[in-house]
Amino acid sequence: MKILPKKSNGSESSASQKHRLAVSRLETLVPILLIALATIVIMISIGLVLSLIFNTYRFFSLVSLLEFFTSKEWTPLFATPRYGVYPLVVGTILVVAGALTIAVPIGLVTAIFLSEYAPSWLAKTLKPILEILSGIPTIVYGFFAIRVITPFIQALIPETQFYNAASASIAMGFMIVPIVTSLSQDALTSVPEQLRTGGYALGLTKWEVTKGIVFPSARSGVSAAIILAVSRAIGETMIVAIAAGSQPSASWNPFESVMTLTGYIALVSQSDAPEGTTAYYALYAVGLLLFLITLTLNLIGRRFIRRKTGNVNV
């Protein structure tokens, strides 16, 4: 306890007594401090959710639930505003589905390689490098999308719009590969070694063991990896705000401009939707919908992870 001032004239016993007193005071203080700080974090979360709920409630006092969920047009800022969330949902699904088509095969193959085939020194080197990918700021992926991916797509399909769902999908796919790989590899690695050796004892080849024993055993961990990646992709904003456009269309064509749930929030919070207007409250309704979707996915993902741990313990 160097922070305690040493008194030169005090006896040693009184000094250690003081020390003990200070320590016990600290011991009672620390939990209070920690509880206070933890409470702040919880209060922030509660506050956020409450503000989402209250403002969404105000939105639905202006616009009917029926309009929100059944109308096929989303034009809150125009002369004749419509508030059908459907085009935003289509845009989101289109981009996320595209991202998964890229990320799931690449991510799983990489995970299988790292867990089953790569020598351990190689796996130990490759995994951190792969995880760096998830540390790249998403704005860089967005820029990469409009500067590299979009021109490439346009060279192949000339009618492609400059801002399009496909380009954002591909960039987002690259972004979530590490999530899929990392979690799936953990699941594959934690499959007990006895299962593999048992397979070999039956005369199976390495690929047969991987395909028939290891992968099925790790299935719930792999599902969790994919679900968490989906959740991450749905919430991703920067890539879609830069590359996917801002045209809420209910079209499933990936080469056209779309608008995602997050894209709408990003766009409108920057332009002027004055407080008190319906377009302003629509931000919260979209935000709450987004929150509920990602919350549900995260809960499902966690369930899968827990089930996986259960399997291993048995």
Partner 1 sequence: MKRSRLSQAALLGMGGLLAACGSLGSISDLEGTIVIDGSSTVYPIMEAVVEEFSKKFPNVDVSIGFSGTGGGFAQFVQGNTDLSNASRPIKTSEATLAQTNGINYHEFLLAYDGITVVVAKNNTWLTDITLAELRALWLPAGDNPATTDIVETNVPPTKWNQVRSTWPDATIQLYGPGTSSGTFDFFTEVITGKVGNSRTDYQPSEDDNVLVQGVAASQYALGYFGYAYYIENTDSLNEVGIKANDSAPAIYPTLETIADGTYTPLSRPLYTYLNTDKFANNEALREFMLFMIDHVKELTDEVGYVSLPETNYESYRSILEDLA
Q: How far is the CB of 80 from partner 1 (least distance, A)?
A: 7
| 203 Rama class: left (phi>0) / alpha (psi -120 to 50) / beta | left
Q: Which residue intervals of the chain are DSSP H helices?
A: 12-62, 65-70, 86-112, 120-133, 138-144, 150-156, 165-189, 193-201, 206-209, 215-217, 219-235, 238-243, 261-270, 278-313
Rounded Cα distance, 140 and 260, in Å:
19
Q: Which stretch binds partner 1 (CB under 8 A): 15-23, 146-154, 184-192, 229-237?
A: 146-154
Q: How far is the CB of 90 from partner 1 (least distance, A)?
A: 13
Q: How many CA atoms, within 13 angstroms, populate the side-chain half-sphere of residue 235?
A: 16
Closest CB to partner 1 among residues 264, 304: 264
Closest CB to partner 1 among residues 18, 82: 82
Closest CB to partner 1 among residues 151, 310: 151
246 contributes a contact to partner 1 by CB under 8 A: yes
3-state secondary structure of 83: strand
3-state secondary structure of 100: helix
Chain residues 66-85 in contact with partner 1, contact rule CB under 8 A: 73, 75, 77-80
Q: How many CB atoms lie within 10 A of CB 227?
A: 21
Q: How far is the CB of 102 from partner 1 (least distance, A)?
A: 22
The tokens for 177 are: 């590969």
**Structural contact between residues 161 and 243, judged by C-beta atoms closer than 8 angstroms:** no
Closest CB to partner 1 among residues 57, 78: 78
Chain residues 75-134 in contact with partner 1, contact rule CB under 8 A: 75, 77-80
Q: How far is the CB of 93 from partner 1 (least distance, A)?
A: 19
**Nearest CA to 214 among 225, 206, 226, 224?**
206
162 contributes a contact to partner 1 by CB under 8 A: yes
Q: Which stretch binds partner 1 (CB under 8 A): 181-189, 199-207, 241-249, 299-307?
A: 241-249
Rounded Cα distance, 103 and 27, in Å:
49
3-state secondary structure of 256: coil
Closest CB to partner 1 among residues 141, 163: 163
Closest CB to partner 1 among residues 80, 313: 80
Could you give the angle at the alpha carbon of 301 between the alpha carbons of 299 and 305, nearest 5°?
115
Q: Which amino acid is at 252?
A: W
Q: Which stretch binds partner 1 (CB under 8 A): 182-190, 231-239, 268-276, 303-311?
A: 268-276
The single residue among 195, 272, 296, 310 that binds partner 1, judged by CB under 8 A, is 272
245 contributes a contact to partner 1 by CB under 8 A: yes
160 contributes a contact to partner 1 by CB under 8 A: yes
Q: How far is the CB of 15 from partner 1 (least distance, A)?
A: 58
Question: Contact residues for partner 1 (CB under 8 A)?
Answer: 73, 75, 77-80, 146, 150-151, 154, 158-163, 245-247, 249, 256-257, 270-272
